[in-house]
Amino acid sequence: MERDEPPVDVVIEVVAEKPPPTIYSAPRRFDIATIMVVTIAYAVLFSGLRLLNAAPHILAAATFFVSVVGLAQSLLYGGKHPRVASIHAGIASMLVLLAFFFFTLDAPVVCFLVSGFLFVIPGGAAFGYIAGVLVGSVFMIADWVRRWSSSKA
């Protein structure tokens, strides 16, 4: 049974006409809609962590982590590669948090090095990417709010 496939030149035309997908990330400039949505996003983060009875230092660590990822998206690589920036910021943030907690708790340096290589690099990359997706989602919602408010005016 033969399938009726379109010619290759038709497929290339259809693919070439499709615009590239929009990649949302932290912008370099904020407007009122962005500030409002970011404030709501932090309120949701704080509320969710408080509902889970998270300790204050966990709340501070999560806030630090998400903030560094958001800043990295807008500042690293000229804002052109937000996914890579999120991964790098996740690894760097996890190293900083790990160092802070280990040196605060007076843990041996060997524990710091072992956990750094076993968890921080892959975990920081994964959580950085996830945080980057969440940050991008917040700015996608801000874009929707901006479009909705401009259509009402």
> What is the structure's pLDDT at 10?
57
Confidence of residue 13 (pLDDT cuts 50, 70, 90): low
As a whole number, the mean pLDDT across the chain is 82
In contact, 120 and 102? CB cutoff 8 Å: no
Q: Which of 66, 47, 79 is nearest to 127 (CA)?
A: 66
Mark residue 108 as left, alpha or beta (left: phi above 0; alpha: psi -120 to 50; beta: remaining). beta
Average pLDDT, integer, range 60-82: 89
> What is the structure's pLDDT at 153?
62
